[in-house]
Amino acid sequence: MNVQMEAGWKKVLEAEFSKPYFLQIVHFLKTEKILGKIIYPPGSQIFNAFEMCPFENTKLVILGQDPYHGPGQAHGLCFSVPDGIRPPPSLQNIFKELNTDVGMPIPQTGNLSPWARQGVLLLNAYLTVLANAPASHSQAGWGEFTDTVIQKLSDLKKNLVFLLWGKFAQEKQSLIDETKHYVLKAAHPSPFSADKGFFGCRHFSKANTYLMKNGIDPIDWKL
């Protein structure tokens, strides 16, 4: 099937789009829509992370679980919200750590699109969710798709940085070849766990140190 996606990613992932599990995802989403259910993010933004961060440009991956499930919050980038939407608590804690780590002023926006444009893949493991129902699409088949994304990145690129926050993200570590890439792990930035190892992890400065050591432009984290 013809999936609208950035050309580099489309080439890498082409084989997935005709596999039974992916066709099942498409059927599932169409059925949910027919039933009148509200799905986030909007259809045009489901693959936004790939559109904004081309495969060729990707140098750092942040892995989330599933999109925000409130009105207007999700726009296809993990942890990010569009301009004008108040940053949720986990994102507020990310900004606090950035302030401590690299001195970034706490921004007025929660839109992380500038990171994506610099090569940060803001990838949720599940790319859709029902309104007001977290993890509601966790069995839709997205996990197989995004595991393939991580595997392809690991296999086809080198010197990537992977930021794995929380137990769920850290379960993806086995997909990454750590002889080629740099994996950083910490607690999830959620208010329930940020003080158990996310605060003080200094992942943002550590990531940039690694990138520069390998001749790759660092990320400008300021928004």
Catalytic residues: 66
Cis peptide, bond prior to residue 41, ω within 30 of zero? yes
| Residue 152: Cβ within 10 Å count | 16
Task: Give residues with Cβ within 8 angstroms of 65, minimum separation 6.
Answer: 78, 124, 125, 126, 135, 166, 168, 169
Whether 222 and 105 have beta carbons less than 8 Å apart is answered as yes
* SS3 assignment, position 186: strand
Q: With contact defined as beta carbons under 8 Å apart, do 169 and 147 qualify?
A: no
Q: Token pair of 112, please?
A: 């992380």
Q: Which residues contact 70 (CB under 8 A, 6 or more apart)?
A: 40, 131, 132
Q: In the chain, at which residue ranges do the beta strands (DSSP E only) sit? A: 39-40, 60-64, 120-124, 129-130, 161-165, 182-186
